[in-house]
Copies of this chain bind each other. A is one copy, B any other.
Amino acid sequence: MKVIPLILMGCGGVGRQLLQHIVSCRSLHAKQGVHLRVVGVSDSKSLIIASDVKQKELDDNILAEVCRVKSDGSSLSKLTSLGESQVFSNSESRTKVLDIASILGKSTGLALVDCSASSETIGVLKEGVNLGCCVVLANKKPLTSTLEDYDKFVSYPRRIRHESTVGAGLPVISSINRIISSGDPIHRIVGSLSGTLGYVMSEVEDGKPLSQVVKSAKSLGYTEPDPRDDLSGMDVARKALILARLLGKCIDLGSIKIESLYPEEMGPNKMSVEEFLNGGVVRLDNNIEERVKKASLNGNVLRYVCVIEGARCNVGIQELPKNSALGRLRGSDNVLEIYSRCYSQQPLVIQGAGAGNDTTAAGVLADILDIQDLFP
């Protein structure tokens, strides 16, 4: 039986779903000859670890209790030692994680699994890589920070996996990596990588005013609490940066041309969420309506996409043929078109649900299973 020890960082919706998947897949993975040994779980305030990380693990009862406490909105710090485990505060947890990495990293290739949305994990992940750890990310921040950090993470390319950073569990990163390693040069990627903006654009295409669509999207739970977090395009830009860097482009977030769907004077520093929803966004309706109509006259539709081609990496609204994979997209699915030597006339298209805790956690879990051959 191959044992993969791991520490989970971040225990929000995705992290908890991952723990549940790990537990419910025990018998499946046993059949595949693999056992996932969770030796630690951290949130922003605390770290809970198995008492003897060389041998023991946080057993499934402890993992269930961790999920319960976090679902209740509490911190892991609320847990006192459970079974054979220890709880550490934030100030001690970084040192503890690196202690475990020193013990297990080189010998067993401990996986550091980051399901947080924080920049604060970057430091410990980088040191973990030095200590022989593998890194599995749902968190986009470590890959969208400085180029120096990025180069550090990809210095052992087989030891980093990050499928769920783009398109949740959709096989985007793994497919692009396969294409690259087969020497088939990718020259263009166009993608609709935000379920929220996909929904918004297909609703305005149907003639609904932007303001109304944004309000429904918010009430359906499709947006962040402040919908401007989606409308700014920053989340799509981070995904575009990850793809562009995967293609070997040495660029930063600052080099990406990002079209925000609202002007600066409606930004979070200038008006509250309520002001934006009740007075701001309605002022944007006419402009979008006109653009939709103009596109329609050309037989096209508007999509909020990322385009990576040559030195260009743009994120924003594009007019696209109604009949293309992107133009046909409805609702909140993600879609990616990849053009390469092998897919030159017609692109390779990958389409499906690109958000949600379940699919995101499934992508992380597949990544963890995929590093098993790196372990002795």
Which A residues fall within an 8 A CB radius of B? 21, 24-25, 28-29, 32, 157-158, 163, 169-171, 174-175, 178-179, 181-184, 325, 328, 331, 333, 341-343, 346-353, 356, 358-359, 362-363, 365-366, 369-374
Contact = CB atoms under 8 A, between A and B. Distances in A.
B178 A171 contact: yes
B350 A181 contact: no
Nearest to A171: B175
A347 B353 CA distance: 8
Which 6 A-B pairs give the minimum distances between C-beta atoms? A373-B373, A25-B183, A348-B352, A182-B362, A178-B366, A171-B175
B169 A366 contact: no
Contact of A341 (B343, B350, B358): B358
B353 A351 contact: no
Nearest to A33: B157
Nearest to A323: B328
A249 to B, nearest CB: 15
Nearest to A177: B366
Contacts of A28: 181, 183
B157 A182 contact: no
Contacts of A373: 158, 371, 373-374
A184 B174 CA distance: 17
A349 B351 contact: yes
A358 B183 CA distance: 11
Contacts of A353: 342-343, 346, 348
A348 B351 contact: yes
A328 B331 contact: no
A171 B169 contact: no
Contact of A350 (B24, B178, B350): B350
Contacts of A349: 349-352
Contacts of A175: 171, 174-175
Contacts of A347: 352
A366 B349 CA distance: 18
A2 to B, nearest CB: 9
Nearest to A376: B376
A359 B184 CA distance: 9
B174 A178 contact: yes
A352 B343 contact: yes
Given A24-B183, A169-B182, A349-B351, 18 more contacts: A21-B182, A158-B373, A170-B348, A174-B174, A175-B175, A178-B366, A181-B366, A182-B365, A182-B369, A333-B346, A342-B356, A343-B352, A346-B352, A346-B353, A348-B350, A349-B352, A350-B351, A373-B374
